[in-house]
Every structure is written in structure tokens, then in C-alpha cells.
A and B are shown apart, each in its own frame.
Chain A
Amino acid sequence: MKDNYKQPLLVIEDSDEDFAALNRMIFKTDIPNSIYRCEDGEEALDFLYHEGEYSDRLLAPRPALIVLDLNLPGTDGREVLAALKKDRDLQMIPVIILSTSSNPKDVTACYRQGVSGYIVKPMDIKLLERLVKNFLHYWFKTVELPEINK
């Protein structure tokens, strides 16, 4: 559990406003992990595979948890998810979907791909605060996360 704080949280979210709201809520919790943000799927894959602008491993530490939006410009969240879950190494990282879509088709498809949770973005800021607190507590204070392969 002790290591859980060392690894960062990766947020893949195209909307600046949504990210700002999420960021604000994370700061309100007592989780000290650093937060990295990618704005689209392409960037996220570069981050995770250390390619392109993230070829320097130091710039892109391996995240403990990924928060993924589904509707992204270019490479879509669904594609990022599929790529992650096919990679023997990356598939261990828990992925939480945070999306506007409450479409049951999306929910089912994501769980089938092996997501660790699916959260529908709420309108109400108070609700968002509660949700963020809940899932961060769960992942960083409750459960054991897998060892990092160095």
C-alpha cells in the first residue's frame, strides 16, 4: 500500500473544463499522488509507451491508475482501452472510465474490455466531489496495486 502514493495518476481528458473540475476535486482529497494529463488518445499512448514527446521516461512515469474519457478527438478512448488491455504489461494498470455517456452499450463494452470501473460524469459539482473522493480512496487507500516492473 505504501507504494500506491509514489506512482502518479494519469487523466486522459480532452475537455479543459472537465479536467479543471476533476483536478479541483482531487486536490480537495488527501491523496498526494501527482497527476499527469493527456488530451487525446494519441498522446496517452505515447505517454504509456514512451514514444514521441514522451520518449524520455522521466517525463512519463508509469501511472498507478488511469482515468479515461471515452469521447476523445482522434484516437478514441475505446481504442486506447483496447490497446492497453492487449498489452501484457500495461493491462495490469486499473482503468476507470469517466464519461458523459450513460449508454448501456458503452458501459457493457467497457467492462467487457476489462475496465475497473465506469463513472458517468455528473452535472452536480457536489456529486462529482463525492465520487472522486470515493474512487481515489478506494484505489489509493484501500486496495493493493500490482508491483511495478522496473
Chain B
Amino acid sequence: MSAEVKSQNILESITDSDLDPDDREPIHVPNLIQPHGVLLAISIETERIVQVSMNTQEILSLEPEELLGQSLTEFLGEQQALAVKKCLSADFEHINPLPIELTAIESVLHFDGIVHRQAEIIVLELEPRLPTQKASFDNFYRFVQNPLKRLQKTENLEELCTTLAQEIKAVTEFDRVMVYRLDRDGAGSVIAEAVESELEPFLGLHYPATDIPKQAKYLYTLNLLRIIPDLKYEPVKLFPDLNPLSDRPLDLSMAVLRGISPCHIEYLHNMGVAATMCISLVKDGQLWGLIACHHNSPKKVDYQTRTICEFIGQIVASELTSKENSQDSDYKIKLKSIQSEFVASLSQTEDLEVGLTQNPQKLLDLVGAAGVALSFGSGITTFGNTPSKSAIKGLLPWLATQFDRDIIYETNGLAQSYPEASDYADVASGLMALLVSRVDKTFIIWFRPEVKQTVDWGGNPYKTAVRSDGTLRMSPRKSFAKWQEVVRENSLPWKACEVEAALELRSSIVGIVLRKADELALINKELSRSNVELDAFAYIASHDLKEPLRGIYNYSSFLIEDYGQILGSDGADKLNTLMRLAHRMEDLINSLLHYSRLGRAELLLKSVDLNNLLAGVLDVIKVSARDTQVEFKIPRPLPTIKGDRTQIEELLTNLISNGIKYNQKQQKTIEIGYLDPDDPIAIERGLEYSADNESKTVFYVRDNGIGIRERHLDSIFRIFKRLHGPKKYGGGTGAGLTIAQKIVERHGGEIWIESVYTRGSTFYFTLE
């Protein structure tokens, strides 16, 4: 796609889509030109003139009809025609202007020829050469040398722009030269000015975005210099109206003589201007601003001077980045040092949230904010001046949608994009949010207070829309008298370096998170190694501890066998005690071994129907407890859960057999069931322990046994802790509840007990 076709598309898309009526005006095809030159459209294919401006008689002493159909060679002579054609294969910038001489009836006319290509057409514009032409390279160099030297000496943006205005004024002798800077939204303000002393200064005045419509801004990036020598000009039509090659009006985007939009003329008229020149300042392909020159009487500027101005404009544009970067350099250094300190202390903390909050002042200073909120998961922590936590919570869903693909969002007028923020505009007119993790919805949100600002407008910007004859056409405002506005619900804007500091904080955080992940992997490796060691230890312990034990046991029994008669019953009793103790020690070792294996065995998580599982458990228990009277109650069918079948079997076996074992009632009852999610016990537990919203099912095993005294409740889960003597309640190692607890914990649940002494106990547990 050629540049022309592309620009055409962009312009059309702007015209079609924009709702602002003024933006709809197709200013690139006015079909009119300014009268200070002539425009000729020449077909590339036939090299014949196909369209001319209607002022050829005045400037060339030739009627338009005479020119139409003429070949380029007939019109310009062979040499000059060749020069024009050569332009097509070269960069116009280097060729223009082309000196053109035309022989009229009495004299030779001198022109600056400006050539550009528009699709299949050569557009040739001829401007009579002014007598004071500075037409050589030496001159050009002399004229740009001093301004450039002075511009290079400037230290900051302000100085650069002021010098620029002064130099352009010196070169062009316009009454007023302003540097007009556009902000993000397209509104502008005069940031530097050189003006004749008798005129009122415009420096510091603001202009709304509508003053320069979008397509005009776009044309400014294509055509770096625009000139209107006399605003009171009579526009000249093209003949014929439509370009015969395309059957459409000729695209004049690149034409220097392009007619001015009536709206713009009216605007300048209202400002009291008679002639203007505009030089674009384009930075990174975007219109950064304009050098706007005004004159209060008509003023011609020769092509050479224009080229000088355009050149200076381009030099300055290339300087903008470095000047903008060097702005606030002290502040930037300060930010950097805060940042490195902050990152250093952050990287030493184990927990990111703790690290971020341990020095809140630094977190604020890092971006020059007055308040900050950390939103980690469901919790919000605030420091400094911030809206209320509930207000921040309310803001989050909206904020989350503002990032798109970006990770940072900032505004200095929050209430304009999020009206609810009006309520707390005093603390949060400015907001900068850093998306730390999209997955966890982790944000750092900084706030800035409202700063009431007085903005001087060049005329009331709210009185631009005028309805005339029923259409919505914009009419430029009549008055440019200074109009003051107090802007509310705005904070100081976030500087680029502050936004950058926030972004760098994020990369530090990401770095820390990654490093923590590495450390975690290392710890895991370490852990699995020590688990292997523990396994070996348990194994060795079981073998090596049991071996002497077995010896003691065996030799005792040999003694009884071989010398029982001699020892008598007293001796045999003592030996039997020795054997019983050895047995007990073996039980303890086995429990310990089992407990240690339980902690490390891989869980086989499967869907388990608890009804089925419980039936199996009860069958086994009924066999071993057949002498006792036990009633098992299952009030309602149990759910199916996910878990390790063997371990859950053991869990239920332990709890149920405990209920039977520690029970002296004639009629023992064991109830196995689960609580409703709205049961007070479940709710209390849910609020206290689970951070996520999904509540776990609380199961219970209830007995009418001996119960446990309050003071013992804390110790019952401790391994080998027994509350009764070894001969009471059938003995045991005291590992059953410890193992039950381990199983529950391995299933990600909790176990706890409620007990009334002598009345019974209820064990509650959750799984998953």
C-alpha cells in the first residue's frame, strides 16, 4: 500500500467514525486552494495536464482551458519537464522547491515549483518566487547555524521551547510565535511564546482538544509546515471539479496550497489573525505540538525560509526526548535511590506482603503518592490517605477491567472515568494501579489528593458548539479572551518517571517471586531428602530397637521354660511382667513406625462412598466388639468424598473404636453423621479457619462414653499421651488419635473435639 492510499484510508476512517461534527469535515479534499500559487494535476501515464486551479490567468497569464490537455513538455519545456518527472523517483523533500521559469508574453516568470505524487497524478504547485529569496545552501546554513547553536545550549524543555519561539520569530518576523504543546487527550497549551510587546501574551493559555480536529492533527504529521499568507483570501476552485482520472475531488493532503477549512479560517479570524504559519513537532510519529506563528496583517514567507523553519522544527523535535528525559533529573535520582533501597529490603523478606508493608512511607515516596492500598486476594491493606476499604473494594471490579493488556493504569482525574470516585475525590483524584498478578488479582494502588487548579483558557472552551440552520456543525468560538476555570477532582499528573518506578517495582516483585519459587524448590528437595532419611531412620529404629527387645522377651520365656520350677511362682510373675513390658515396648515402636509411615505414604485420592466404607468398618468393629452392647446410629446417608480409602477407614475405625473403648454405659451408642453447612458449629469453624468461601463438610463421630475433662482436651492428640492407666479401658499405645489427626491433616482437613465429662464426646473433622 502506498503512503497516499494509506493516508486516504486513515482520513476516511477518521471522517466516518468520529462523532465530533467538526472532526467529520473532509478537510483534505476541500477542492479549493489558496490564491497565492497555481496547482496543476498531471496524469503520470499521459504526462498531460488534467486539472488546474482557476487562477492561472492571474499568475501564468494562461486560461485554464488553454492548459488542460497540454503535455508537461509543452508547458514547461523539455528540460524542466524532465526535472519534474525525475522528482517522481526521488524523495520530494530533497528536490523541492524546483526552480521553474516560464516565458510569458513580455517577461520571464520565476516560480518555486513544489512537486508531489498523489496516486496516478503528479501535483505541481507553482508559487511566484519572492524577490528577497535566500536561495543558496550557504544562505541556508547561515540562517540555521545560529539558531541551532542557541537551541543546543538550552538545558531543559522550557528553555528549548522559549529559544525555539524566539529563533523562529527572528527568522520569519511573525508578530507572534508560540510553542503549543498537546497533552494526551489532544488539548493544548502555550508553553513558550515570542510576541511583539504591544500584543497581549498568550503564554500559559489552554485550548480544548476540539480546537484542532483529529484529521487536522493527522495532516500535521504528514505535512510538517502549513502556511496561510492571507486569511482573507478568495479561495480558488479547481477545474474541472472532479479529477478526471479518479472521478473524485483531488486529495490535497500533501498540497502546500491546500484550501483552509472554513471553520479554521473563522477560528483564526475570531482570534484576530491575518496570516499564519504552522510547523509540526512530531515525536515518535505522534504530533507532540506545533510552532504556531501568527501575523496581524497578511504575510508571505518564501519557500527557503519555510524550509529553514521546518528544519529547525525537526531538529527540535529530535531533541524533545532527551530534554524531556532530563527534566526532573534530581527527582528521578531520588526516586531511583528510594527504589533500590525498597527493593533491597523487599528481597530480604520472606513474605512479599510483609515486605511491601514494612516500610509504607517508602512505598508512597516511590511514586510520590499520598496513599497506597495493597489488594492481596481478598484482603486490603491501606497506608496514608486513601479512600475507605469498602470504597476500594467497590472500585476493584472496575479497576480490573482497565488494564487490558497493560499492567499499569493511571489517571489524574479518577472521577471522570469512574464517577463514584467523586465521593472521595479529596484523597483519590489521582490513581495509579499496578497489576502484580492477574491470576491472584493482586494490585498495588496509589492515590493522590485533589489539587484544585486554575486553568487559563484561551476563550471559554465550553462555548464552541453552535447550532446553526439545524445542523450540528461546530462553530469556532467568538471570544478568545482569557477565561478562568477552577478544575476540580484532578490531582497532579503522574510523571513518566513515577510510572516507570512503579513498573520497575513490579519487575522487582516478579524477580523476588521467582527467586522465592527457586528457594522453595530447593527446600522441597531438601525436604524430600530428609524424608528419605527419616524413612531410613524409622526402618533402622524398628529393626535395631526391636532386636534387643526380642532378646529380652525370648530369654525371659526360656528362663520360665527351663527354670520355672526353680524360680517358683513369684519369679515366674516377675519374668512375665518383663515379657509384658517388652511386648508393650514393641507396640509403641510399631505405632511410631506406623505414624511415621502415614505421614509420608502417598495419598491415593479417589472418590469414596462413605456409606459403603463405613459399613465395612462397622463390620470389622462388630466382630471384635461382639461381647459389648453397641448401637450404631447413622441419621442420614453420608456423602461421597475424595480421599484415600485405606486411611479414611483407619480414621473412622480409630474414632469409633475409641468411642466404644472409653465407654462404661450399659447401652453404648455411637452416632456417625455430618453437619449442615448452616449449622452454627460449621459456620463458626468456617469463619474461623477457611479463607476461601467454599465451606467444607463437617463430619462427626459422637459417643455416649466417659467424656474428657476440659483440661485434658488440649493433649489428647499428642502421641503416646494416655489419660488412663495401662490396665484401664483395654490399654493401648495412645497413638490412635494422633494417627487420626495425621490422616485428617493429610486430607487437608481439621479435627477437633467437644466433650462433656461422663456424658460423652464428639469428634468433628473435615476432609479435602
Contacts and interface: CB of A to CB of B under 8 A. Distances in A.
Interface stretch (A15-23, A33-41, A109-117): A15-23
A128 B586 CA distance: 16
A123 B550 contact: yes
Interface string B539-579: 11011101111110111011000000000000000000000
Contact of B555 (A15, A17, A71, A128): A17
Q: How large is the interface on A (under 10, 10 to 19, 20 to 34, 35 or more residues)?
A: 10 to 19
A99 B546 CA distance: 11
A123 B558 contact: no
B554 A125 contact: yes
A15 B539 contact: no
B543 A18 contact: no
B502 interface: no
A29 interface: no
Chain B CB within 10 Å, residue with most, of A15, A18, A71, A123: A123
Contacts of B583: 123
Contact of B539 (A17, A20, A103): A103
B554 A17 contact: yes
Given A123-B582, A123-B583, A17 B550 contact: yes
A123 B578 CA distance: 13
B539 A18 contact: no
Nearest to A102: B542
Given A103-B539, A123-B583, A123-B586, A21 B546 contact: no
Given A123-B582, A123-B583, A123-B586, A100 B557 contact: no
A134 interface: no
B543 A17 contact: no
A21 B543 contact: no
- Mostly helix, strand, loop or mixed at chain B's interface? helix
Interface residues of B, number: 19
B550 A18 contact: yes
A18 B546 CA distance: 11
Nearest to A20: B554
A123 B551 contact: no
A101 interface: yes
Contact of A100 (B546, B554, B555, B558): B546
B554 A101 contact: no
A24 B557 CA distance: 12
A121 interface: yes
Contacts of A15: 547, 551
Interface string A20-55: 110010000000000000000000000000000000
A21 B550 CA distance: 10
Contacts of A21: 550-551, 554, 558
A7 B548 CA distance: 31
Given A103-B539, A123-B583, A24 B547 contact: no
Interface in A55-98: 71
A18 B547 contact: yes
Interface of A: 15, 17-18, 20-21, 24, 71, 99-101, 103, 121, 123, 125, 128
Given A21-B550, A100-B546, A128-B554, 12 more contacts: A15-B551, A17-B547, A17-B550, A18-B554, A20-B554, A21-B551, A71-B543, A71-B544, A101-B542, A123-B546, A123-B553, A123-B582
25 contacts: A17-B547, A17-B554, A17-B555, A18-B547, A18-B551, A18-B554, A20-B554, A21-B550, A21-B551, A21-B554, A24-B558, A71-B544, A99-B543, A100-B546, A100-B547, A101-B543, A103-B539, A121-B546, A121-B550, A123-B546, A123-B549, A123-B582, A123-B586, A125-B554, A125-B557
